[in-house]
Each structure stands twice: as structure tokens, then as C-alpha cells.
């Protein structure tokens, strides 16, 4: 039996903080299993929030410095986390923080220098999971479906409601299929901020609002929704295509939240019409949004929507990136061409020895 002890690091587009997950993986008799032992989210300070939010606007030197310093910062978080939990990993697997993601231009950049992280933490680091896929003509995203296939095979599909919503499922003819669906927590949290809220708790404000028909229609007409998988979304698309539609609406924040929530649920339901099977695992911060989950159930009544225990809801992505590190460390395929559109399946990730 193979056993690996790994720390997974994840920073999402919502900029709420860095997720750290201490995980243990076992490979026995041809099957993988996992234990999520400890997990924590370290919120970003105002300084780090501002730096990461404005990273796409930095010049080359400033961005290079951010990349270096952020890697050292992640290493310091790993050190503190290991001391607190008494956990010694075989290595660290870091997603980094996405600054640019333009696969159509052959470009993806995740901040968080792996060399600095390894030097600061004192552990081997695996990071930069997306670049090889983009170099092979893929979208570089989503990467989580390889973990969905091997760790969560009890479900017909896996839905993540993060800054963007994304989903993966097993097709009997084409293998694992996945795609980004729509913006999710990114516009919801941005709109909640107009009310001086970090997010809409349980979707209660959205539930009190009224749908704006013109806004909902405009959102649903965006070209991205009519493209077939594989397809992925990035911050650039959100700022250029989605956010301006929200800003043209002069309605109350509650009505905008109601409209965006319905939009997200509608797009999830549209994708789910393609999926064989009924059992869907839902994780990510949006899984705690009771109003959004109710909307999904209403618009996709054929689904059995399963929201697991809170730790898995919040830390599944960090867990899966830890697992992608395991596959990279052991020389196994961790990126699926059927998902990303790359020219072949491959084993992605850069390794920095401590």
C-alpha cells in the first residue's frame, strides 16, 4: 500500500484567504482513499488582498516581486500550520493565486514562487499545475476533475460553487468531462459588499430580492454559455463580459443578488441536462448558500443534491490539489485531455526540492 501525507494550498478568485488542508492518501488494491485531517483558512490582510486584487495591473518588476514575496508568505503559513497541527508532510502542493488565465493566448500565471515556498517551509513543493496543459493546447482548467474521478467515484457528478462554478462528470463514451459553468461567488460577494457585507449569509438577502428580467436575460445571452466543453473562465472574462452588465443595473443590491443567484442555478441546470446519473456532490462556499441550493434543486429536480460535511464543503479544492501533487510526485497522469482540451493526458506540475 502507498501512503502520502500532503498539505494542499488553495487561493481562490474570491480572495477570502488561503486554504490549508493536511491530507493523507492511500493507494491499495487499485483504489485511492483519503483522510482530511486538519484544515484552516487564513484570511488575507488588507495589504495582501489589495496586492493580489491589483496584481493584473502591475508592471513586470512589481509582479515578479509579488510572485517571490507571496511564495515566501505561503511558506510561512505552512510552517505555522504544521507547528499548530503537529503535522509533517511528505511535500506541499500549492495551487497559487491566479493572476492571468488566457489559455487562448497560451498564457496562465499563478503567483506564489515554488522555490521561495520550499525554502521558507523546508518541504518539497509541487506547484504550477496549469502551465503544461496550456502548452499542450489545453485550457489549463479545470484540474479538479482528475481528483473527482479517483476520489469521489460514488457520485455521478461533482459541482463546485466557488468564485466560478464548475462541474465534472463521467461520460460513458468520452470519459471524464468538465467545464466552468458561470461566475458564482465572485459577483455575489461583490454585490454583497455594496451592503457592507463580506458575502450574502445563506443567500438571505437574495431570497428577499426580486429577479430583474432584463438583467437575467442579458446574463443568459452571454456567448460563453453556448460554447461546448471544454471551456473555462477567468477574471479577465468576468471583468470584460459579466461585471459591466451588473453595473448597468440601477436596481437594489437585493434584486441583483436574486437575479445572479437565479442565473447561476439556471446555468447549472442547463449543464446537468447533459449528465447521465442523478447523484451530485456540491462543495465550495456556495454550498452554504441555502437560497442558491434551493434554486438549483428547483431548476434541476431530477438531481439528488448532496452537500457533505462542512470540512469537505470548504476544503475539497485544497484536498484535490494535494492529491494532484501526489499523482505528480508518483509520476501518474493528473490532467485529463478530455477535460481541458489538451493534445494528450499528462502529468503536470513543477517540483522544487527543499
pLDDT digits (tens, 9 = 90+) for 191-210: 999 999 999 999 999 999 99
Amino acid 250: pLDDT: 66
DSSP state of 291: H
pLDDT at 120: 97
Task: Kindly give, in sequence order, each residue whose CB lies less than 8 Å from that of residue 145, ignoring residues fewer than 6 positions away.
Answer: 158, 168, 176, 177, 178, 336, 339
Mean pLDDT of the chain: 95
Taking residue 25's Cβ as centre, other Cβ atoms within 10 Å add up to 23
Which pTM does this prediction carry? 0.90
Residues facing 9 on adjacent strands = 20, 94
Mark the ranges of the chain whose per-residue pLDDT is less than 50: none
Give Cα separations from 269 to 165, 204, 274, 298, 316 (angstroms): 12, 21, 9, 9, 22
Bridge partners (DSSP) of residue 40 are: 20
CA-nearest of 179, 73, 126, 79 to 323 is 126
| Chain mean position to CA 196 | 25
What is the pLDDT, as a whole number, of residue 235? 84
**pLDDT score at 123:** 98
Cα atoms found within 13 Å of the Cα of residue 264, Cβ hemisphere only: 31
* Crossing angle of the two packed helices 213-220 and 253-272, in degrees rounded to 10: 40
User: Between the CA of residue 283 and those of 221, 309, 313, 337, what are the distances in Å?
Assistant: 27, 9, 4, 24
Return d(Cα 210, Cα 88) in angstroms, integer.
Answer: 50
With residue 127 as reference, give the H or E element that holds it.
strand 125-127
Is cis: bond before 142, omega within 30 of 0? yes
Say what the pLDDT of residue 236 is: 85
Residue 347: φ, ψ to 5°: -115, 105
Pairing mode, if any, of strands 279-283 and 304-306? parallel
Kindly give the residue spans of alpha helices, DSSP state H, lying in the chain.
Answer: 46-53, 60-85, 114-121, 131-135, 145-151, 185-192, 204-208, 213-220, 235-237, 243-247, 253-272, 290-299, 310-329, 337-340
Closest CA to 129 of 329, 354, 353, 347: 347
User: In this predicted structure, what is the pLDDT of residue 15?
Assistant: 83
Q: Which residue has the cell 508568505?
A: 73
Full set of structural domains in the chain with CATH: 2-139+317-352 (3.30.420.40), 145-311 (3.30.420.40)
* Beta-bridge partner residues of 25: 4, 34
Cα atoms found within 13 Å of the Cα of residue 278, Cβ hemisphere only: 6
pLDDT at position 237: 93
DSSP H or E stretch at residue 176: strand 175-183
116-148 burial, b for 16+ CB within 10 Å, e for fewer? bbbebbebbbbbbbbbbbbebebbbbbbbbbbb
Counting Cβ atoms within 10 Å, is residue 327 exposed (0-12), middle (13-18) or buried (19+)? buried
Amino acid at each position: 500500500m502507498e501512503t502520502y501525507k500532503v498539505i494542499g494550498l488553495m487561493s481562490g478568485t474570491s480572495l477570502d484567504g488561503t486554504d490549508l488542508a493536511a491530507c493523507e492518501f492511500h493507494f491499495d488494491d487499485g483504489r485511492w482513499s483519503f483522510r482530511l485531517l486538519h484544515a484552516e483558512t487564513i484570511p488575507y490582510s488588507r495589504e495582501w488582498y489589495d496586492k493580489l486584487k491589483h496584481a493584473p495591473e502591475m508592471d513586470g518588476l512589481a509582479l515578479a516581486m509579488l510572485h517571490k514575496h507571496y511564495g515566501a508568505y505561503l511558506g510561512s503559513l505552512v510552517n505555522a500550520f504544521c507547528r499548530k497541527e503537529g503535522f509533517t508532510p511528505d511535500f506541499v502542493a500549492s495551487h497559487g493565486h491566479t493572476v492571468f488565465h488566457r489559455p487562448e493566448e497560451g498564457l496562465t500565471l499563478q503567483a506564489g514562487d515554488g522555490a521561495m515556498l520550499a525554502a521558507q517551509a523546508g518541504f518539497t513543493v509541487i506547484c504550477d499545475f496549469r502551465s503544461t496543459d496550456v502548452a499542450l493546447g489545453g485550457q489549463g482548467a479545470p484540474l479538479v476533475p482528475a481528483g473527482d474521478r479517483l476520489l469521489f467515484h460514488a457520485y455521478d457528478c461533482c459541482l463546485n460553487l466557488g468564485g466560478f462554478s464548475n462541474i465534472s462528470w463521467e461520460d460513458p463514451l468520452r470519459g471524464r468531462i468538465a467545464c466552468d459553468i458561470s461566475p458564482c461567488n465572485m459577483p455575489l460577494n461583490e454585490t454583497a459588499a455594496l451592503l457592507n457585507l463580506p458575502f450574502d449569509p445563506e443567500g438571505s438577502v437574495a431570497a428577499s430580492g426580486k429577479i430583474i428580467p432584463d438583467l437575467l436575460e442579458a446574463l443568459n445571452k452571454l456567448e460563453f454559455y453556448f460554447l461546448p466543453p471544454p471551456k473555462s473562465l477567468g477574471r479577465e472574462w468576468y471583468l470584460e463580459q459579466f461585471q459591466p452588465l451588473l453595473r448597468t443595473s440601477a436596481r437594489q443590491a437585493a434584486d441583483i443578488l436574486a437575479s445572479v443567484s437565479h442565473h447561476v442555478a439556471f446555468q447549472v441546470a442547463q449543464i446537468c441536462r447533459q449528465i447521465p446519473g442523478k447523484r451530485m456532490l456540491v462543495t465550495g462556499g456556495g454550498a452554504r448558500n441555502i437560497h442558491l441550493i434551493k434554486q438549483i434543486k428547483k431548476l434541476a429536480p431530477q438531481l439528488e443534491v448532496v452537500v457533505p460535511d462542512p470540512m469537505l464543503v470548504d476544503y475539497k479544492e485544497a484536498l484535490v490539489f494535494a492529491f494532484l501533487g501526489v499523482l505528480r510526485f508518483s509520476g501518474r497522469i493528473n490532467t485529463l485531455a478530455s477535460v481541458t482540451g489538451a493534445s494528450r493526458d499528462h502529468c503536470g506540475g513543477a517540483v522544487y526540492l527543499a
